[in-house]
């Protein structure tokens, strides 16, 4: 079954290092928590809010060994007034035997407010 695995994080400034470091942390956690292998991933969408333009977050995928051929794409989020700023989002489409309820969606830093109902966010994981 192909499942969508979501995640998001934020950065405090619009620079390449901050964007790539935060994206690496988020993708690494998504991969680890969902036991993903590159061969099971159909593609990954990365989006950023319009205030982030210093780097393509998808670039970080190539730093994971064996992930060279995973198709990736970047886009800009819809600029809804009042929405979370400085935010990077990821949608991984992967083949897995996990049920929807067993997928581990990852929300880090200020992005935790996007999905407080999910059990795997920084603050809820340690509970």
Q: Which residues are catalytic?
A: 6, 62, 74, 77, 89, 107, 115
For the chain, give percent helix, strand, coil, nearest 5.
Answer: 30, 25, 40
CA separation (Å) from 50 to 26, 29, 77, 79, 82?
A: 19, 24, 7, 7, 13
- Distance (Å, rounded) from C-alpha 19 to C-alpha 13? 8
Whether the CB-CB separation of 70 and 44 falls below 8 Å is answered with yes
């Amino acid at each position: 079954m192909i499942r969508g695995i979501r995640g998001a994080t934020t950065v405090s400034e619009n620079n390449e290092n901050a964007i790539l470091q935060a994206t690496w942390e988020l993708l690494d956690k998504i991969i680890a928590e969902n036991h993903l292998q590159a061969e099971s991933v159909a593609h990954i969408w990365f989006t950023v809010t319009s205030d982030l333009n210093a780097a393509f977050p998808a670039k970080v995928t190539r730093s994971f060994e064996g992930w060279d051929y995973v198709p990736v794409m970047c886009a800009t989020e819809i600029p809804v007034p009042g929405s979370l700023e400085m935010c990077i989002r990821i949608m991984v489409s992967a083949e897995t035997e996990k049920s929807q309820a067993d997928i581990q969606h990852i929300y880090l830093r200020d992005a935790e407010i996007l999905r407080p109902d999910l059990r795997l966010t920084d603050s809820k994981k340690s509970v």
